[in-house]
Amino acid sequence: MRFGLVFLMLFFGIEVLANEINRIVVVGGMWPLPSVITLVDNGAKKLVYIPKASINAIRESVLATFYPDILKVPYGNTQNIEEILNLKPDIVFCHASNVKLCDTIKSSGIPTIALSVNIGDYNYLLTLQDWLEKIGKVLSKEEMTNKLIKHNQEIESQIKSALKACKQIPKAMILHQYHHNEIIVDGLFANYLLKTTGARNVFSSIKANRKVNLEEIYALNPEVIFITNFTQTMPKDLLESKLWQGIDAIKNKRVYKIPLGSYRWFAPSAEFPVFLMWLAKKNHPKIFANIDIQEQLKKHFKEFYGLKLDDAGVQKILHPSPKAGILY
């Protein structure tokens, strides 16, 4: 039976011949995954259902420019097993934390891969590596995904090496969401991303994300603030707000919107190595002065995906629309 063959190949390492996968469903909060699958597979033709929060980001991304068909993929937030079965999937990717959904799909006989976002204590590199390894097997693209994994490791190593002798470590924070004066900071990968790129996370004790008040931020006084694409807030919103003016990051205009590539970069993304370089350059502009982010973006898309990213595409990535922050 085809389903059994795919399951054995992926989870027990048994070398068997599995039939081709043509219908992929992504559910249960795996928002970043459709973009990664599309780039690895050079198209969205195998995707038959994706999360709504995925499509909201993709609409504002260069992925929609390269692969406009992805905008036609059905999307939503279903956790209804009958609706999922009606999609006739060859395989389903779901979020490992959504145990009930993943187990229900598995029990129906559909090959199901439950992906975790917490590999190595929310290590972005290792989490993305785990995803790429599984996607590579499913799509028979292991040569490509292995190349990506190796490159990711090399860039991380180079950045760590360049920062080894650095003694001036800026205090930084991730503004995850900001709406109607409700402030949510950090996020799953904040500690890894900031530490790896030479900054100290002022909210390092937070493992996921948490509401805080402005007084807490004033007390910690971050020197750099990064704003995710899980919010419509832009740097000018903080820079022009009277409420934030006493914070060093505001005084020195070191407030940055995280770019939006094929997906929101704060979550595991196919442009991970360029994201690391971008963060490192913002945290330590002198140390990484020789890195040209625009050229690195063009090189990455060409070398790994065979895509020609033009200047307009680069600007779209580096200056994302606030609309990408609409999640539902």
pLDDT, one tens digit per residue, over 271-290 is 999 999 999 999 999 999 99
Whether residue 44 contacts residue 22, with contact meaning beta carbons closer than 8 Å, is answered with: no
**Please, which pLDDT band fits residue 180 given cuts at 50, 70 and 90?**
confident
Average predicted confidence (pLDDT) for the chain: 93
Whether residue 274 contacts residue 297, with contact meaning beta carbons closer than 8 Å, is answered with: yes
Q: Give the model's pLDDT for residue 292.
A: 98
Q: Which of 174, 198, 167, 202 is nearest to 188 (CA)?
A: 174
Q: Give the model's pLDDT for residue 137.
A: 95
Whether pLDDT at 8 is above 50: no
Mean pLDDT of 40-45: 97
CA distances from 63 to 58, 214, 292, 315, 316 (A): 6, 36, 22, 14, 11
Whether pLDDT at 267 is above 80: yes
Whether residue 253 contacts residue 243, with contact meaning beta carbons closer than 8 Å, is answered with: no
**Please, which pLDDT band fits residue 19 given cuts at 50, 70 and 90?**
low
Whether pLDDT at 18 is above 90: no
Q: What is the pLDDT of residues 214-248, one digit of tens each?
A: 999 999 999 999 999 999 999 999 999 999 999 99
Q: What is the pLDDT of residues 98-133, one digit of tens each?
A: 999 999 999 999 999 999 999 999 999 999 999 999
Q: Give the model's pLDDT for residue 1.
A: 37
**In one letter, which amino acid is 24?**
I
List, as own/partner pairs, every contact residues 201-208 make where C-beta atoms lie below 8 angstroms and the sequence separation is at least 24, other chains included: 201/172, 201/173, 201/174, 202/171, 202/172, 202/173, 203/173, 203/174, 207/122
**Please, which pLDDT band fits residue 181 given cuts at 50, 70 and 90?**
confident
Q: How many CB atoms lie within 10 A of CB 310?
A: 11
CA separation for the pair 41, 22 (Å, rounded): 11
Strand order in the sheet with 112-115: 75-76, 47-51, 24-26, 91-95, 112-115
Backbone angles phi, psi at 32, to 5 degrees: -75, -20
Q: What is the pLDDT of residues 132-174, one digit of tens each?
A: 999 999 999 999 999 999 999 999 999 999 999 899 999 999 9
Q: What is the pLDDT of residues 24-36, one digit of tens each?
A: 999 988 999 999 9
Whether pLDDT at 13 is above 60: no
Q: Give the model's pLDDT for residue 203.
A: 96
Mean pLDDT of 81-85: 95
Domains and CATH numbers, the chain: 2-141 (3.40.50.1980), 163-325 (3.40.50.1980)
Whether pLDDT at 15 is above 80: no
What proportion of the chain, given as a percentage, has pLDDT over 90? 88
Residue 135 CB partners (closer than 8 Å, separation 6+) = 36, 37, 40, 141, 145
Lowest average pLDDT, out of 10-19, 36-45, 89-98, goes to 10-19
